[in-house]
Structure 1
Amino acid sequence: MFDLGTSFVASVDRDPHALAIVDGTTRLTYAEWYARISALVVGLGEMGLTRGDHVLTAMQNRWENASLHWACQFAGIIVTPLNWRVKADEVDHGVDDSGAKAVFYEEVTEDAVATSAKAAGIIRKSAAELAELMQGNAPLAVPQASAEDWSLMLYTSGTTSKPKGVPRRHRAERAGALAHVAQNLYRHGERTLGVMPLYHTMGVRSLIASSLTGGAFICLPRFDAGKAIDLIEAEAITNLYLVPTLYHDVVHHEAFSPERVKSVTKLGYAGASMTNGLLRKLDDAFKPELFVNHYGSSEIYTFSIEQKAAAKPGSAGRAGINQMIRVAKLNAADPDELAAPGEEGEIIALAKSDEAFEGYWNRPDATAKALRKGWYFTGDTGFFDEDGDLFVTGRADDMIITGGENVSPVEVESCLSLHDDVAEVAVVGLPDERWGKVVTAFVKRRGNVTAEELDQHCKTSGLANFRRPRRIVFVEDIPKSPVGKILRRMLVAGEYREEQRIPEHQ
């Protein structure tokens, strides 16, 4: 299989004059971008960086960051991206854990890097310095890595412990991107909104898939719904691949109209479940040719794909083209202990996938827990329906056990989201002396709906009685991670602001 440097050269050979990347006034064809990347490869070498070195990146989705990603693929350097909201102690952890030889940053991350004790001992370069390096002349870069070399190392979210490094090889990265192209039915010359961060698997996959199709990666450094709509219209974006929260913000923005986003023919989402209400609204607004629910992870890019997401709300579909999936019994020790159809269990995926990682970086304990007998135990819960389609119900840790019954937060959230006056909702279990946990809904409302009206909505929707929220809390905002995942732990810990306004008819 191609290494990623060779893959990029092949894209240049096919489409040298096609638009490759846009960032503000910067517009480069594949041939022009290759020349800039080649100059950066030389610059990295002059810094003393060599094949197999780790480098930390702490930048938004700007063209310098995308260029650095490709330059590292040519040089055989391992990109190790950090969230651009990173703090100094997180930079310290990244340097210590990966053994990074350099860190690349921009204005928003300058303070974190400057105050990191560990970063003081390694190479530090800003985005402006990278841009300057790329103005130099250099021979066109020759790929120095093999398909077996490490391409990048993503960090998983650390909720109760330090983030875990997920190293991935060139061949796994390219296999994931090829699957992404196939599963989303991308055409030659697709135009992609490059807003999912390049420290996240969705962002990296969009970048590589864009090159495979001779397409354009349109940078939006930091998500802003109004700017996203402007870019979609101005650059005739053809596909969107976002987390549900960002879709929510786009379609509810005052500047949104179907006419302004008419160039978009394909919608894809991942990273979190999408409520039925949002699915319906997006399908009506965009009327896409294809609406894909992509279910996967940093460890194994694709678990399953549903290409008709709006037609079967909640379905994660069937295994991806590089994958096999099962639902094991909850707390199963063996991958052959399978749940029955309709029975909720833990979703597991075959670790032989072309897209799979091989274990966590310097974490044999975590690797042993996740990889068992050739299968990756995802920690997600779900079930197969009578058609053989997968439904993901949440994280095993998020499951609410109330009065001995298992309640999936996702099911309750989907029900409440269908009420017109519910803007966003998150459901958790809060401690209760009698029930163990009580189902509690945190609601951000757009109208004057009352808790009593929402309870009645749940009753008439067919939601089982034991799944109905016993408490409804109206909040100013639902806490989320930088990529839009609901942070249920913050709600459980009481880290939220209750809504201050008083509805008119309460």
Structure 2
Amino acid sequence: MLDLGRTFLQSVERSPHALAVVDGAQRLSYAEWYERIQRVANGLSRLGLARGDHVLVVLQNRLEMATLHWAGQFLGLVMTPLNWRAGAEEVDYCISDSQARAVVYEPVSEAAVSASPLASRLTRIAVGAAGAAGGGVIGFERLLEQAPTLPILRADSEDLSLMLYTSGTTGKPKGVRRRHRAERAAALGHVAQNLYRRGERTLGVMPLYHTMGVRSLLAMALVDGTFVCVPKFDCAAALGLIARERVTTLYLVPTLYHDLLAWRERHGADLSSVRKLGFAGAPMQDGLLRRLEDAFEPEVFVNHYGSSEVFTFAYTQEATRKAGSAGRAGINARIRVVPFGAVSPEQRLAAGAEGQIICELKGDEAFEGYSNRPEANAKAIRDGWYFTGDTGYIDGEGDLFVTGRVDDMIISGGENISPVDIESVLSLHPCVDEVAVVGLGDERWGQRVVAFVKARAATSAEELDAHCRASALLNFKRPREYVFVREIPKSPVGKILRRKLVAGEYEPLEVQ
């Protein structure tokens, strides 16, 4: 299989004058971007960075971030991106864990990098105004000073391309190592599963420290498409870019779709260029699915279910046909559902029975284990299968339904209750904007079902309870309490942080 450097060269050779990347006023064709990427790769090489070295990158989705990612693929570096909101302690941990040789940062992440003792010992590269005072910091522009004598093309398909850090909601984040061949296979699968054509244009808003952002970047190169950088998400700016750059496809988490629609409903926006929608990162509630279908009328609407470890577990190209379904196994995957507590992948469940979702690691997109975490590997990898920690079931037609996380499962009165089922029902109430369901401690029941609701219009607990009673939701799953909140707490990539609700970290509103 081709490595990613040669993959980018394919687009340069096929479509040298096609628009490759946009960042504000900066617009580069594939030929122009390739020249810049080669200069950056040469600049990194002159700093002593070589094949197999890790480079910690703490940047937003800007042209320099995307350029560094591709330069690393040509040079054989292991790009190790980190959330630009990370603190000094996390920067230190990831430098130590990855044994990074250099760190790249910008003004928004400068304080954390400057406060990291380990970062001070590395080659430090500053983008923009960061590090302008000197102190041994190298400006990014220096990397562009000299083109290589011969083109740099030093990686092969077996080299490590990337190490992504999982969100680390419990304990330290885990490094997910991904080879060139796995990254390319995942990008090819993404192109096929989303029905991308040559020349697509996508909004580069999902962060490039997240698997969704990396996939968008690579997929556009495979189809000679355009990656429109969005350094920091803002509804007005994003919708303006969609209209101005005639973006054809969106791949976002449900939270960002929700926010875009809410802004458009108040201010208006031109969405006519967008023909393909894809979402991942979290289940999408039924109410939002319907609103997106009405707003975009997409040609294809993909529910993509995957992870950093194995990019695609399952997908469907008709997200609204069977609401809540993640479809069937991805092009490069095999999946099963096994009982909770299963130790072997052979302990399969019958159709309709809920358990843990697992995926075979022989698939082309799969990782090979976490970096320096034997205990995490022992827990997650058994007999060649990855135990995802997600709960779900496969229905009688063979479609997968993801019902939540094993850790999020509510056990009330001995019954297993999935929050996602309840959230989907409540999301269809016209007064509900967003909802998250958790289990809180209860002396009698063990846990009681509590719904945290962000309302779009005045409603009450009694009205929402009546809505649940009138639905197909089983009685024992009905919330026993409703808490109205100003916002549902979420991670930087839009995942609901249920642990914060359990811990009381939210702003309550008066009962409406």
TM range, smaller chain: over 0.9
RMSD: 1.2
The CA distance in 1 between the partners of 2:482 and 2:266, in whole Å, is 30
The CA distance in 2 between the partners of 1:450 and 1:106, in whole Å, is 46
* Alignment partner of 1:32 is 2:67: no
The CA distance in 2 between the partners of 1:334 and 1:462, in whole Å, is 34
Question: Counterparts in 2 of 1:311-350, with a 5 A limit?
Answer: 311-350=321-360
* Alignment partner of 1:294 is 2:307: no
The structural deviation recorded for 1:11 is 1.1
Question: Counterparts in 2 of 1:228-243, with a 5 A limit?
Answer: 228-243=238-253
The CA distance in 1 between the partners of 2:149 and 2:294, in whole Å, is 50
The CA distance in 2 between the partners of 1:428 and 1:285, in whole Å, is 30
Report what 2:493 is aligned to. 483
1:175-215 Cα shifts (integer Å, max 9, x gaps) = 00000000000000000100000000000000000000000
1:359-398 Cα shifts (integer Å, max 9, x gaps) = 1001111112111111110000000111110000000010
The CA distance in 1 between the partners of 2:150 and 2:262, in whole Å, is 45
Give 5+ residue unaligned stretches, structure 2.
Answer: 129-138
- Please tell me whether the aligned partners of residues 38 and 139 of structure 1 are also in contact (alpha carbons under 8 angstroms): no
Paired positions, count: 502
Cα distance change on mapping 1:309 and 1:420 into 2, 3 Å: same
The structural deviation recorded for 1:340 is 1.1
TM-score normalised by structure 1 residue count? 0.98
The structural deviation recorded for 1:137 is 3.7
Structure 2 counterpart of 1:424, from 427, 434, 458: 434
Report the AA paired with residue 366 of structure 2. A
Report what 2:421 is aligned to. 411
The structural deviation recorded for 1:157 is 1.4
The CA distance in 1 between the partners of 2:477 and 2:22, in whole Å, is 47
Report what 1:85 is aligned to. 85
The CA distance in 2 between the partners of 1:345 and 1:401, in whole Å, is 14
Report what 2:371 is aligned to. 361
Structure 1 counterpart of 2:174, from 164, 173, 176: 164
Which stretch has the larger CA shift, 74-83 or 140-149?
A: 140-149
Structure 2 counterpart of 1:437, from 447, 454, 460: 447
Structure 2 counterpart of 1:186, from 187, 190, 196: 196
Cα distance change on mapping 1:285 and 1:135 into 2, 3 Å: farther
Cα distance change on mapping 1:255 and 1:450 into 2, 3 Å: closer
- Please tell me whether the aligned partners of residues 322 and 353 of structure 1 are also in contact (alpha carbons under 8 angstroms): yes
* Alignment partner of 1:195 is 2:205: yes
Report what 1:68 is aligned to. 68
The CA distance in 2 between the partners of 1:127 and 1:255, in whole Å, is 37
- Please tell me whether the aligned partners of residues 38 and 141 of structure 1 are also in contact (alpha carbons under 8 angstroms): yes
TM-score normalised by structure 2 residue count? 0.96
Report the AA paired with residue 489 of structure 1. R
- Please tell me whether the aligned partners of residues 349 and 377 of structure 1 are also in contact (alpha carbons under 8 angstroms): yes
1:209-240 Cα shifts (integer Å, max 9, x gaps) = 00000000000111111111100000000000
The CA distance in 2 between the partners of 1:355 and 1:107, in whole Å, is 34
1:224-262 Cα shifts (integer Å, max 9, x gaps) = 111111000000000000000000000111467886011
- Other structure's SS at 1:91 match: helix
- Please tell me whether the aligned partners of residues 319 and 325 of structure 1 are also in contact (alpha carbons under 8 angstroms): yes
The CA distance in 2 between the partners of 1:134 and 1:256, in whole Å, is 44
- Other structure's SS at 2:263 match: coil
- Please tell me whether the aligned partners of residues 229 and 256 of structure 1 are also in contact (alpha carbons under 8 angstroms): no
Report what 2:122 is aligned to. 122
The CA distance in 1 between the partners of 2:150 and 2:454, in whole Å, is 53
1:240-296 Cα shifts (integer Å, max 9, x gaps) = 000000000001114678860110000000000000000000001000000000000
The CA distance in 1 between the partners of 2:337 and 2:404, in whole Å, is 13
The CA distance in 2 between the partners of 1:33 and 1:16, in whole Å, is 9
The CA distance in 2 between the partners of 1:21 and 1:88, in whole Å, is 31
The CA distance in 2 between the partners of 1:483 and 1:406, in whole Å, is 28
